Amino acid sequence: MNAGPVSTPQGVPERELEAAISPLQESRYLWFVAAVVIAVVLVIGNLDLVRGKSAPVWDAIDYYAPMFSLVADHAKAGKLLLWNPWINGGSPDFADPQSGANSPIILLLGVLSHDPFKAFVAYWIGLWVFGGLGMLWLLRHLRCPAWGALIVSLGFVSCGFYTGHGEHTSSLYSFSFLPWIVWRFDLALERRSYWNMVEAGVLWGVSALGGYPAVVILNPIFLTLWALGRVWFARAEFGRISSKPLGKRLAFLALGLSLLGVVGAAVISPAYLSFIVDTKGYTFRSSSLDRHRAIAEGPLPPAAMGTLASPYLYLLNLAPHRIWPETDISMSNVYTGVLVVSLAFAALQAHRRWRLWLAIIAAFFLACAVGPHLPLRGWLYDFVLPTRYFRFPSLFSAYAIFTICILAALATIDLERLRKAGISSGRRRFFLISAVLTIVACLSYELILRSAHLTFQGAGRPSRLLLLLWLSSLLTFFLWWRRDITGRLFVALLLAIAVYDAGSTLAISRPTMYSPYTLGWWKAMRSQHVKSLDLTPYGLDRHLFPPADLADFYQHDRNVTVKQAVLANDTGMVNQYFQPYIADPVLYQLAVGGQRIWFSDRPEYLPLDDKAFAAYVKESHALGLPALALHSTGEMVGPSSQATSNLSGSEQGSAHSPKSLSPANVELVRYLPNKLEFRYRATQDGWLLVTDRWAKDWKADVNGRPIEVLGANFLFRAIPVTCGDNLVRFQYRPPGYMGLIILSWGVILLVGAADILRMTPLSHRLRK
């Protein structure tokens, strides 16, 4: 099925235009230079961070950098991170995709790095470079000229998703894989190649091992929409889709997407299957979110689409302005660069249905990004089940940004054809579109400034930058239209604007990426870093908050770098009883300090629900020290109705009045991340409360006899002991996890090895 007639400049045959440009035959040197420019711009744009004059901010320094160092410490010790005993009373971090515990990339960096903090900075910038090179390579595949691909790639790496989410390393990780995935996926569509689908599946899978789940879930949705347009509009303007009947093309697409999904699922299994299975009872996030939270938390404010005008505007969502209080600053920026916006709109003037389809895709994702302001995000929640597992609708905007970049790249193909063919018609339209967008950008900028009670002149440098970029772009298109500059000078000016735009955007966006104010904490983490994974020398000592020299008293995870156990940390694996626990001194006294194991001969059974928790809190305050409350394994991982049948009468306790826990003086034998061993002499039969967090994969034995680990006091573990000496061993063993690792990494290695073999001369001869 044809996509309809292809629009060309007036009076010029399509064949003549095609002969005017052969982007794939351009010198490899040009593409190499383009790659170097991207890397240099990113390094120079983040020079203060590279030189150690600033440090990451917010989640990057609070969670991602400490977690990177912990994964690195495990890798150097020849281990995989499973249980993290230093945060939140213990955490199954291997099952958190964002931790990177399953990522061969992060593990390799961890093994090779002498200083994990310098390695983290290199990793952080490397993700941007990787994303930029991926976009460059994808645009080469799409037959764009090297200069056009460079302009668009610079806009891509300095876009609002990268700068706004600079603190969210896992989001950058997944987003940077997107152009690489689309490259192999589109190649599969062109060649009808199932092998290329396998490659795309591996890339998608690797993007999940250390990436943000929302981006990972949205990738197949985007690929499906991309493929439908490419398959339906068989007469694509770049590359060639098979001329077979539409039904056969759709059949290949269905089979190819299924293959991609199966291969990708195998690769992501260590993180995602573990998250779904092994965190049950630890966090409610192993289940889908309620509809309101998924739709309404963290949308892209509709007015924030005005950030396409300037990279400065999203910063007005910081205090004291907070012009969009419904969302976080990281969720309110869609800037893509002046030239990218102008070129994307210019691409649509060619009236090609493939480009219109891309515009529809961009509009769809923007409509989803605004969350409750439009119904689309809610419809996805209702009908596409995986989208129920993440919040922050604004993340949909990443795909709108990506699609805008693709449209802009297509416009550079038009420009190159006009430039090489020496055609006058069509140039005026580029100028007129640029003129209209310049006016709209200035008006949008002014309106958003007013919402922050600022004036154009009062904004200072950002206003001057706005005028410089938009007017220089407009002037360049005007001079080219009037033939006052040569084609080469025209391209040179566009490249200069793109480089300056990207560099100035990185400079303006520093507040959401790094700051000198966090440098003291960064240096403290580096200087006090402890590599050892052995907790035995420190005993059972645990603090409520991280050390004061790593930050003020609030929840973060920097303490893992100094290997100091803390109860109140930051985590995505939230539990509804955890935050109330750490806010109540009567409750948290059980789990902080050196005395963290308790004895009771009179436990009571409590169902695991809010009403029971409220009664438990009230009772604990009346006693001054909580009693022992037991919960069955079924209760911990499922509805409260399962609990009673799983506890015997003796385990349920008697109806007598509750009795406070008493300290259990234990002799610590060994304390490692995945193992706790101690001796305890009991004066009577009873129960021990161990105030390390409960998780379903903890196994225990007493004097060599396996016993069930029950939930206790809503968060912790309890085991029965008998009168006399008790040697207690806890071991964390997620069943099947190593098999999933072997499966995941095995698929990656096999596909990688096969690709290497396919590039050898012998393979080329065999294929001939």
Q: Give residue-wise pLDDT tens across range 101-118.
A: 999 999 999 999 999 999
Is residue 650 scored above 50 in pLDDT? no
Q: Give residue-wise pLDDT tens across range 140-184.
A: 999 999 999 999 999 999 999 999 999 999 999 999 999 999 999
**Does 669 fall in a domain?**
yes
The mean pLDDT of 62-88, rounded to a whole number, is 97
Q: Give residue-wise pLDDT tens across range 676-709.
A: 999 999 999 999 999 999 999 999 999 999 999 9
Which three-class secondary structure state does DSSP give residue 731?
A: strand
Residue showing tokens 């969670």: 63
pLDDT at residue 283, rounded to an integer: 93
Given a contact cutoff of 8 angstroms between Cβ atoms, the answer to whether 576 and 293 are in contact is: no
**Does 606 fall in a domain?**
yes
The number of folded domains in the chain is: 1
| Cα 363 to Cα 684: distance, rounded to the nearest angstrom | 69
Decide the pairing of beta strands 667-672 and 675-682: antiparallel
Residue showing tokens 């409509």: 367
Residues forming beta bridges with residue 86, ordered by sequence position: none
Range of the domain at 593: 575-732
Q: Compute the CA torsion angle 402, 405, 407, 411 (nearest 10 deg).
A: -170
Position 8 confidence tier, pLDDT thresholds 50, 70, 90:
very low
pLDDT at residue 418, rounded to an integer: 87
pLDDT at residue 763, rounded to an integer: 58
Which three-class secondary structure state does DSSP give residue 278?
A: helix
pLDDT at residue 239, rounded to an integer: 52
Give, in order, the Cα–Cα distances in Å from 708 to each of 28, 440, 494, 697, 712.
Answer: 64, 66, 68, 11, 12
pLDDT at residue 242, rounded to an integer: 61
Give the relative orientation of helices 169-191 and 246-278 as an angle to the nearest 10 degrees.
150
Position 768 confidence tier, pLDDT thresholds 50, 70, 90:
low
| Cα 570 to Cα 63: distance, rounded to the nearest angstrom | 7
Position 237 confidence tier, pLDDT thresholds 50, 70, 90:
low
Question: Per-residue DSSP letters for 27-95?
Answer: -HHHHHHHHHHHHHHHHHHTHHHHTTSSEE-THIIIIIHHHHHHHHHHHHTT-----BTTSTT-B-GGG
Decide the pairing of beta strands 604-605 and 675-682: unpaired
C-alpha 249: how far from chain center: 33
Residue showing tokens 């993440």: 390
**pLDDT above 70 covers what percent of the chain?**
91
Mean pLDDT, rounded, of the chain: 91
Residue showing tokens 């403290």: 524
Nearest CA to 175 among 142, 127, 221, 110? Answer: 127
Q: How many residues does the chain have?
A: 768
The mean pLDDT of 442-448, rounded to a whole number, is 97
pLDDT at residue 235, rounded to an integer: 56
Position 645 confidence tier, pLDDT thresholds 50, 70, 90:
very low
- 635-638: Cβ within 8 A, 24+ apart: 635/607, 635/608, 635/711, 636/281, 636/608, 636/694, 636/696, 636/711, 637/280, 637/281, 637/696, 638/280
pLDDT at residue 196, rounded to an integer: 97
**CB atoms closer than 10 angstroms to residue 212:** 26
**Does 696 fall in a domain?**
yes
Is residue 425 scored above 80 in pLDDT? no
Given a contact cutoff of 8 angstroms between Cβ atoms, the answer to whether 434 and 474 are in contact is: yes
pLDDT at residue 231, rounded to an integer: 85
Q: Give residue-wise pLDDT tens across range 282-331.
A: 998 888 899 999 999 999 999 999 999 999 999 999 999 999 999 999 99
- Per-residue three-class SS string for 449-498: HHHCCCCCCCCCHHHHHHHHHHHHHHHHHHHHHCCCCCHHHHHHHHHHHH
Give, in order, the Cα–Cα distances in Å from 373 to each of 293, 315, 669.
Answer: 14, 22, 58
Which three-class secondary structure state does DSSP give residue 704?
A: coil
pLDDT at residue 27, rounded to an integer: 80
**Does 717 fall in a domain?**
yes
**Does 160 fall in a domain?**
no
Q: Give residue-wise pLDDT tens across range 329-375.
A: 999 999 999 999 999 999 998 888 899 999 999 999 999 999 999 99
Given a contact cutoff of 8 angstroms between Cβ atoms, the answer to whether 633 and 646 are in contact is: yes
**Does 144 fall in a domain?**
no
Position 642 confidence tier, pLDDT thresholds 50, 70, 90:
very low
pLDDT at residue 659, rounded to an integer: 92
Q: Give residue-wise pLDDT tens across range 27-43.
A: 889 999 999 999 999 99
Give, in order, the Cα–Cα distances in Å from 253 to each of 92, 190, 205, 284.
Answer: 38, 11, 19, 36
Given a contact cutoff of 8 angstroms between Cβ atoms, the answer to whether 35 and 137 are in contact is: no
What is the pTM for the complete model shown? 0.93
Is residue 641 scored above 60 in pLDDT? no
Given a contact cutoff of 8 angstroms between Cβ atoms, the answer to whether 412 and 149 are in contact is: yes
From edge to edge, which strands make up the β-sheet containing 662-663?
A: 604-605, 629-631, 710-712, 716-721, 686-693, 597-600, 662-663
Q: Give residue-wise pLDDT tens across range 565-579.
A: 999 998 889 999 999
Across 401-427, b (16+ Cβ under 10 Å) vs e yields bbbbbbbbbbbbbbbbbbbeeebeebb
- Could you give phi then psi for residue 310, rounded to 5 degrees? -155, 140
**Does 674 fall in a domain?**
yes
Position 736 confidence tier, pLDDT thresholds 50, 70, 90:
very high
| Cα 732 to Cα 690: distance, rounded to the nearest angstrom | 14
**Does 618 fall in a domain?**
yes
Is residue 14 scored above 50 in pLDDT? no
Is residue 658 scored above 60 in pLDDT? yes
179: enclosing H helix or E strand: helix 169-191
| Cα 701 to Cα 709: distance, rounded to the nearest angstrom | 9
C-alpha 210: how far from chain center: 7
Nearest CA to 415 among 153, 148, 156, 141? Answer: 148
| Cα 445 to Cα 303: distance, rounded to the nearest angstrom | 11
582: enclosing H helix or E strand: helix 578-582
